[in-house]
Amino acid sequence: MLPLNTRDADRIRRHVAAADAARFLHPVQRALLHSRGWLSMLAPRAAGGAELPLPQAVRLEEAVAAVDGSMGWVLTLCAGAGWFAGFLPPHVARDIIGTRRVCVGGSGAPTGVAEEEGDGYRITGAWDFASGAPMATHFTLNAVLQRAGQPLLDAQGAPRVRAFIVPAAQVQMLPSWQCMGMRASGTHRYRIDAQWVHADHGFTISPDAATAPGPLYRYPFYSLADVTLSASIAGMASHFLQLAREQIVRRKRHEVSLLDTHAQALADARIHFFAMLDSSWAQVESGKTLDAATIAAVRAASLGLVGAARAAVNTLYPYCGLWAAEEASPLNQVWRDFHTAAQHPLLLP
Environment class of 181 (CB within 10 Å of its CB; exposed 0-12, middle 13-18, buried 19+)? buried
pLDDT over threshold 90, residue 251:
no
pLDDT tens, position by position, 207-237 = 999 999 999 999 999 999 999 999 999 999 9
Could you tell me what percent of the chain has a pLDDT over 90? 97
Average pLDDT of the chain, as a whole number: 97
Handedness of CA 255, 261, 264, 266 (dihedral sign): negative
Chain-centre distance of CA 196, in angstroms?
A: 27
User: Per-residue pLDDT averaged across 253-263, rounded?
Assistant: 91
pLDDT at 281: 98
CA–CA dist 265, 277 (Å, integer): 18
Would the pTM of this model clear 0.95, i.e. be above it? yes
pLDDT over threshold 80, residue 1:
no
pLDDT tens, position by position, 319-328 = 999 999 999 9
CA–CA dist 41, 116 (Å, integer): 33
CA distances to 53, 63, 109, 232, 270 from 239, in Å:
25, 10, 31, 11, 14
pLDDT tens, position by position, 52-87 = 999 999 999 999 999 999 999 999 999 999 999 999
Q: Where are the domains of the chain?
A: 1-206, 219-347
pLDDT at 303: 98
Q: What is the DSSP letter of 289?
A: P
Handedness of CA 166, 341, 271, 222 (dihedral sign): negative
- Phi (first) and psi of residue 203, to 5 degrees: -155, 160
CA–CA dist 330, 69 (Å, integer): 11
pLDDT at 214: 96
Residue 128 contacts residue 189 (beta carbons within 8 Å) = yes
pLDDT over threshold 60, residue 28:
yes
The CATH number of the structural domain formed by 219-347 is 1.20.140.10
pLDDT over threshold 90, residue 15:
yes
pLDDT tens, position by position, 101-118 = 999 999 999 999 999 999
User: Per-residue pLDDT averaged across 19-48, rounded?
Assistant: 98
CB atoms within 10 A of CB 141: 26
Residue 102 contacts residue 82 (beta carbons within 8 Å) = yes
pLDDT tens, position by position, 174-197 = 999 999 999 999 999 999 999 999
User: Per-residue pLDDT averaged across 141-151, rounded?
Assistant: 97
pLDDT tens, position by position, 291-303 = 999 999 999 999 9
pLDDT over threshold 60, residue 2:
no
Q: Which CATH number fits domain 1-206: 1.20.1260.10, 2.40.110.10, 3.10.20.30, 3.40.50.300?
A: 2.40.110.10
CA–CA dist 306, 226 (Å, integer): 10
SS3 115: strand
CA–CA dist 284, 294 (Å, integer): 11
